[in-house]
């Protein structure tokens, strides 16, 4: 019975005229909206008239890569052999900057519960994956493959990245580790 009521209401001339008028009204409103947005906007541009940020010509030029500094590589190797292996943690603390220390004091760092992945290694291999290695006068980063010691219980080599930064100036300038962590990379084959 309800179906018949709806069907008869939709087939009546009066409802058909109202639906036609409503459809024409919606069509007219759509045409007016399009005309207002296309014709009413005389500026001819949709870009922000007041852009923020520095002008493009004032942006810094990319630094050129230099040869990886020997002093930076020495610090990186010392850090891995101390912090990652959990040996001589006081020396590792001295080689780390505030980012790596994670707010820990020397006494807290010496407990060995540090924000550095544990990985005692017998061999450090430098490699470049997806051009992520760089060296500039005051910072440098290098990808590594660390080969674990037999006693460590770790079964296979793993990819890591280390970044070092130069702090201080003149005779007091020295390198510190700013980042050390495992990275996703190509699978490292085991022996």
Q: Which of 103, 113, 181 is nearest to 143 (CA)?
A: 181
Note the helical H segments in the chain. 2-10, 13-39, 70-79, 89-95, 98-101, 106-109
Burial classification of residue 164, based on how many CB atoms lie within 10 Å of its CB (0-12 exposed, 13-18 middle, 19 or more buried): buried
Domain locations along the chain:
2-39, 70-182
User: With left for phi above 0 and alpha for psi between -120 and 50, is residue 43 left, alpha or beta?
Assistant: alpha
**Cα–Cα dist 14/11, whole Å:** 9
Write the burial class of residue 160 (CB in 10 Å: 0-12 exposed, 13-18 middle, 19+ buried). buried
Write down the pLDDT at residue 163.
Answer: 94
At 63 the pLDDT is 76
CATH architecture of the domain covering 70-182: Roll (3.10)
- Give pLDDT, residue 178: 95
The pLDDT of residue 40 is 67
Bridge partners of 126, per DSSP, are: 144
In a structure prediction context, what are the per-residue pLDDT tens digits for the chain, which is 191 residues long?
Answer: 566 777 777 778 888 888 888 899 999 999 988 888 777 665 555 666 677 777 767 666 777 888 888 999 999 999 999 999 899 999 999 999 999 999 999 999 999 899 999 888 888 888 877 667 888 889 999 999 898 888 877 778 888 999 999 999 888 999 999 999 988 765 656 55
Residue 149: predicted pLDDT: 86
Q: What is the pTM of this model?
A: 0.64
Residue 124's pLDDT is 87
Q: What is the pLDDT of residue 173?
A: 92
Residue 109, phi then psi, degrees to nearest 5:
-65, -40
Q: Crossing angle, helix 13-39 and helix 2-10, to 10 degrees? A: 60
Burial class (CB in 10 A: 0-12, 13-18, 19+), 18: exposed
CA nearest to 161, candidates 136, 187, 124:
124
């Amino acid at each position: 019975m309800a179906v018949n009521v709806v069907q008869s209401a939709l087939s009546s001339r009066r409802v058909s005229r109202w639906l036609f008028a409503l459809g024409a009204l919606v069509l007219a409103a759509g045409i007016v909206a399009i005309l207002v947005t296309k014709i009413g906007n005389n500026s001819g541009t949709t870009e922000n008239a007041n852009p923020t940020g520095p002008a493009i010509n004032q942006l810094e030029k990319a630094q050129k890569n230099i040869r990886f500094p020997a002093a930076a590589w020495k610090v990186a190797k010392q850090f891995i052999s101390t912090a990652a292996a959990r040996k001589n943690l006081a020396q590792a603390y001295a080689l780390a900057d505030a980012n790596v220390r994670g707010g820990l004091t020397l006494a807290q760092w010496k407990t060995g519960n540090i924000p550095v992945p544990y990985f005692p290694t017998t061999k450090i291999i430098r490699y470049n994956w997806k051009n992520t290695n760089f060296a500039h006068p005051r910072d440098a980063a290098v990808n590594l493959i660390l080969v674990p010691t037999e006693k460590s219980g770790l079964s296979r080599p793993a990819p890591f990245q280390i970044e070092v930064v130069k702090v201080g100036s003149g005779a007091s300038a020295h390198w510190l580790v700013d980042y050390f962590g495992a990275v996703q990379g190509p699978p490292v084959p085991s022996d």
